[in-house]
Structures are given as C-alpha cells and as structure tokens.
Amino acid sequence: MVNLKDFNFQQLENYLINNGFEKFRAVQIAKWLYIKKVDSFDLMTDLSKNLRNFLKENCEINSLKLLYWEQSKIDGSIKFLWELKDKNTVETVLINEKDHKTLCVSTQVGCAVGCKFCFTTKDGLIRNLETNEIVEQYIQVQRFVGNEERISNIVYMGMGEPLANYENTKKSVQIFTDKRMVGLSNRKITISSSGIIAQIKKMYEDKEFPHVKLAVSLNAPTQSKREFLMPISQTNRLEELIKTLREIPLKPGWRITLEYVLIKGVNDTIEDAKNLVKLIKKDRNRFKVNLIPFNPYPLSEFERPEEERILAFEKVLWDNNIATFIRWSKGRDISAACGQLRKKDLLQINPV
C-alpha cells in the first residue's frame, strides 16, 4: 500500500498516469486530501467509481492515530501524542500566537544529535518519519481545530533533526507550499537545524527545495562551549558553520534565526554575550537571535537562569544593534516547550 501523502504533486500525477488514470485527477485528489482534509476515499465524490476502487485497494491516506492531547492552562498551547503504524510515538505542538497559529512538527522518532540540554535525544534515534507522517501532523491538527482557524505557520522544531531526514523533510515542504496542495506561504515555514553544515549547503543548492526560513541552534559563542553542549560541533565546527551562514543566499528582508538556549552557569554570562557579539556583529543584518531560557525536564543536569540574568544577556546584544528576542517558551506546564518533547508511553490525560 502506498500513502498518497508521500507524493509531491508531480509524483501524484505520475502515479495516476502510470496506473492508467487521467493527469487532471491529481488536482481533484489533492483538493480532497489537503483542502477538504477527508479521511476516506469514499468521500471523494467527484472521482470515478473505478478510480476510487483503485485507490481503496492500493493506497492509504491516514498514518497517525491520536492517543491523547493536552492543553496548557497558562497559554493555551496544545500537545498531541501520535501513534505511528509501527507503534512508535511522536509529539506535535500547536502554539496559539497573538494573531496566528503555529504548528511545531516532528521529523524523527527520537534524535541522534545528542544535545545535552534536550530531552528528545535521551531515546537516541529510532527512525526517520516518512513524508506522510510529517504532513499528517498538520492535517490532523487542522482537523482538530477546525477549518475556521487556519494554521498558517509551521516550524520544524519538534522531535528530531529535520536535515538528517533530508528527502522526507524536503518533500513535506513541497507539499506544504504547493498551492495545489496545502498552499502555505514559504515565509511562514521555518526549518530548524542543529547546524549540519553539509546539509544546510545542500538545502540552499537544491533547486527543488522550496526556499523557506532557516533557524540554527547555536547555543554557545565559542567552539569549546558549543562542543560541550552539542557534540555535533566536533565535526561541524562553529567557525565553519558561521562562514556557511554568511554565504548562503537569502531573500531580501529575510534573516537567519540563531537559537540560543540560555543555561544557568553554562552559557549565560555577560562574557558569553560579548563573545556572541564578536561572532556575528559584522553580519548583524543577516541574523536575528532568539534567546530561549532553558526548559527543565525530569533528571536534567541543567537549570534555567534567573530572569535578571536573561535580561542582562539580551541587553548586551541590543546595545550592539543585534536584533534579539527572548522566547518565553509556551506549553512549559505540559512539557511541550522547546527541548521537552520525547517519545512517551501512553498517558491517560485526554485519551481519544
């Protein structure tokens, strides 16, 4: 059985043609899958009976089972736990912003990057998600909230390293940005990476990868500190990473986001802030910095800095004209904040 949400539009057309059906049927099927978001071939009423029977016998369109959801009492964020067909689980977070909704999607079950401050990596990497499993997170959550409130933004900041699952991440972005499919704006989609240099270069050289926004998890202003927090920096060294980020092409007005998790006593000193200024000041118009106070999780060896220390760090950057924003993570009370997602056993909170 093939899952139709594994196909970008060209592949969907080719699949239909190769099986003896008209090319134009791809437009109809895409509308049912991504605009109307149906979960049954029987509901695709403008398709011929012959085509519907073929699809029922050879294809599927559902890949995730909602096990539970939980809503933050503080900010309204909602965390979803999905069961995959192999019984693994992943999490997705819906973030209610002031004027829009953002969905934080996962791309892997677990993660192999090994950042010391992240809960997700404690399981290691179990497997990559298929394209349909990434796309289905959006479809299912959009069904959950209803079509009256469109989810306009997607951030690839859930479980896993998106660029380590390159082809499936790429295809999911194609589906999200194709006007015949989900049809979101390219500027509303952000891929977050731990800084795999070769994959970042590949993404910007790949003419088939839609040009979307990039966020890089920096977390330290020096090689030694970054290597301590992020072992991936041993082979993806900070100096080369910054050089790469200086050279990749950006659309006018777009910036690369540097994500910096502030950890008490590790990377949150005034000296750290000054070193970060030295690292990026000459390219300050190319970057913006998101400061993310560390979000504790069970048995974590790290702590969250005091607010006074966070504000002092931010001030050093603004004093040097570096656009800097503190991201007070949402969903902390339900373990849905940055760095808190992890493969879990079923929790009976809001079972479906």
Calpha distance 276→260 (Å, rounded) = 10
Question: Annotated catalytic, 70?
Answer: no
Residue 104 annotated as binding? no
Annotation marks residue 91 as catalytic? yes
Is there a binding annotation on residue 43? no
DSSP element (H, E) containing 193: strand 189-193
Give the start-end residues of each E strand in 59-185. Answer: 59-60, 65-71, 78-83, 89-96, 101-104, 108-110, 125-128, 153-156
At 162, is the secondary structure helix, strand, or coil? helix
Q: 53: annotated binding-site residue?
A: no
Catalytic residue among 13, 70, 104, 338: 338
User: What is the rounded CA–CA span in Å between residue 133 and residue 167?
Assistant: 13
d(CA 232, CA 246): 20
Q: Which residues pair with 216 in a beta bridge?
A: 193, 258
Q: Has 48 been labeled as part of a binding site?
A: no
Write the CA distances from 196 to 131, 193, 202, integer angstroms: 20, 7, 10
Q: Quick one: tokens of 51?
A: 């085509």
* 161 has binding-site annotation: yes
Going from the C-alpha of 122 to that of each of 118, 178, 199, 256, 343, the distances in angstroms are 8, 35, 23, 28, 9
CB of 217 closer than 8 Å to CB of 263: no
- 59 among the known binding-site residues? no
List the catalytic residue out of 13, 70, 91, 314. 91
The strand pairing partners of 65, in sequence order, are 83
Does 192 appear as a known binding residue? yes
- List, as residue ranges, the binding site: 111, 115, 118, 160-161, 192, 217-219, 295
- List, as residue ranges, the binding site for [4Fe-4S] cluster: 111, 115, 118
The catalytic residues are 91, 338
